[in-house]
Amino acid sequence: MFGTKYGCGACGAIFKDREDLLKHAQDLHDKKTTYLCITCDESFENESSFRMHMARDHRI
């Protein structure tokens, strides 16, 4: 999705790519992370919930 950025729900770090977020989570948070919406600070346990939120609430 164009314009979507990925936020780490554990520490708030922002990534352009999903893979960067996953790598970061594996390295720093023992694979446990959530998807953080950088627009409204809500976090989601999985990518599909995150994408649904972005589409529904932010029209991204």
Q: What type of residue sits at position 57?
A: D
CA distance 3 to 6: 10
Instruction: Decide: is 43 part of the binding site for Zn ion (CB under 5 A).
Output: no
Instruction: Decide: is 40 part of the binding site for Zn ion (CB under 5 A).
Output: yes
Q: Cβ contacts of residue 56 below 8 Å, gap of 6+?
A: none
Smallest separation, CB 53 to Zn ion (Å)? 6
Instruction: Decide: is 21 part of the binding site for Zn ion (CB under 5 A).
Output: no
Instruction: Decide: is 11 part of the binding site for Zn ion (CB under 5 A).
Output: yes
Instruction: Decide: is 10 part of the binding site for Zn ion (CB under 5 A).
Output: yes
Identity of the residue, 40 or 52, whose beta carbon is nearer to Zn ion in the bound complex: 40
CA angle, corner 59, sides to 18 and 25, nearest 5? Answer: 20
